Amino acid sequence: MAARRTTALAGTLAALVLGTSALLVPPAAAHGRGGGPGHGPGHGSGHVVDAERFARQVTTRGVWRHLEELQRIADRNDGNRAALTSGYEASARYVERTLQRAGYTTTRDPFTFEFEVVDAATLTTDGGATYDVDQMQYAPNSPEGGVTAPGSVPADVTGCTADSWAGVEVTGTIAVVSRGVCSFAEKAVAAEAAGAVGVVVYNNVEGILFGTLGAEGVATVPVAGADLADGQAVVADIVDGGATLTLDTRFHVQQEESFNVIAETRAGRDDNVVMLGAHLDGVEEGPGLNDNGSGSAVLLEVAVQLAKQKKLNNTVRFAWWGAEELGLLGSTAYVEELAGQEGELDRIATYLNLDMVGSPNYIIGVYDADESTYPAPVTVPPGSAETEAVLTGWFDATGQPWVDTEFSGRSDYQAFIENGVPASGLFTGADDIKTAEEVALFGGTAGITHDPNYHSPGDDLSNVSREAIGIMAPAVAFATASLANDTSAINGVSGPGDQGHQHGPWKPGKGKGHGRGHAGAMDLRTS
């Protein structure tokens, strides 16, 4: 997961297929969502999968075997499975081998992108202390070896205006200011206007600050983000002893290539494709077993079990995305490629996204497409609420509490919804703090994050909750089987169709990724 993701959807569940012939109409959601039953899949026509039975076939044990292998892969490859590494290649080979044994034909979908290679990212004091910093997006490089100058601190620690620097000797210094009140761009502009030759903005909460100036040319001096404790230590050195600082932040851009892994069922009408995806890459800092080995493993086990279904109404396509942690690059390139091929996006009935579904201090989150809890900062395509209803309907019918998470577009469903494809997804939490209300619903510990090992070396197999996987895996399986049966509530398409496989399976071209290939790219903030 490249950024804090919280998402949800809702609507009416067209039908829940429970047993071989009965339709279960779920109760109204705990959020007070009413609505009567829709029309279930046509049992008299087509090939209806017993969705409840299929949900039982996708087990925690099966998912866990995949997670164990991903852990072994990380252990053998410098402790991570990040894009452009041997760990990612080995992860992809494992997914491909597993799918091929199940009977799928797999495809590597390549894409190219510009990747930022960090050459330097440090702040050093003349007292010998060296701190890690992050060069802000759109900030210029420092000269090789960095900028060396006395440090300065504004009278108002946030340094937002010229008044903040009144009475302070700023010319020829490296300004050190706190996050807060105004944007990073305003801080940089104010400090540079006062004469600073470099700017460091330290966080006002724990953790290193990943920021952006918002556009090219805002500042002509190096600007970096720093950790709260590090920034406070540097400020103390400046105030107490007039410390001299060296700010060295440099990167270069090179062209790189990565790939997605794609597979789809042999059965099902190809003009109505149900698609599911999870990003396969992790961050360089650790094994990435919750983020996002958990989503990848659930998706893989669903695919393996679905291959045993010889007849389906709709084709189901699975994607393991590459370079998500570098800025949603793989999924974006894929959707852009389809958008350039006439009718290809129209074949996708809906998309389900799985990103972090095994958080140790979990919530059971569903993307809030109907905006019943969170106003969406993006346009929600029609059909998304109905897609969500398949997931929430399962939870309601099985007595499982759930909560909305913001439909923000900040995961691999972003490109789909930007191109009008309905979407939904599941999420068990990242770096948000768990509330007492969430503890009452799901257990766990209030006052700490949903995943205390988010984007860290501690995101290993021990960081994944078996309980969360045991809740999420059957939900994904049920939704997959239900949508393979019938998407009429989403797009009006029901049954196997008259023409059968009239288009043939999608074949990849050569995608081009967009955006910075930078591990912190999706964590960027403007203020």
**CATH of region 44-104+265-521:** 3.40.630.10
pLDDT averaged over every residue in the chain: 89
Check if 324 is active-site.
Answer: yes
Give the whole-angstrom CA distance, residue 314 versus residue 349. 9
Count of H helices and E strands in the chain? 12, 18
* Token pair recorded at residue 74: 């990380």
What is the arithmetic mean of pLDDT over 477-504? 82
Q: Report whether 93 contacts 86 (CB < 8 A).
A: no
DSSP assignment letter at 177: E
154-196 pLDDT, tens digit per residue, is: 999 999 999 999 999 999 999 999 999 999 999 999 999 999 9
Q: Report whether 245 contacts 150 (CB < 8 A).
A: yes
232-270 pLDDT, tens digit per residue, is: 999 999 999 899 999 999 999 999 999 999 999 999 999
Give the whole-angstrom CA distance, residue 41 versus residue 52. 14
Q: Report whether 304 contacts 263 (CB < 8 A).
A: no
Q: Which of 192, 324, 325, 337 is catalytic?
A: 324
327-342 pLDDT, tens digit per residue, is: 999 999 999 999 999 9
Q: Residue 498 above 50 pLDDT? A: no
Other CB atoms within a 10 A radius of the CB of residue 511 amount to 26
370-404 pLDDT, tens digit per residue, is: 999 999 999 999 999 999 999 999 999 999 999 99
| pTM, two decimal places | 0.80
What is the arithmetic mean of pLDDT over 74-95? 98
Give the whole-angstrom CA distance, residue 97 versus residue 512. 26
pLDDT value at residue 94: 99
Q: Residue 36 above 50 pLDDT? A: no
Give the whole-angstrom CA distance, residue 55 versus residue 99. 19
Asked if the 116-254 domain carries CATH number 3.50.50.60, the reply is no
Q: Residue 123 above 50 pLDDT? A: yes
* Token pair recorded at residue 378: 């993006």
Instruction: Give the residue extent of every domain in the chain.
Output: 44-104+265-521, 116-254
Q: What is residue 260's three-state secondary structure?
A: strand
- In DSSP terms, 226 is beta-bridged to 133, 202
Question: For the chain, how far is it from start to end, CA to CA, in angstroms?
Answer: 21
Chain centroid offset of residue 487 CA:
25
Which helix or strand (DSSP H or E) is residue 116 part of? strand 106-125
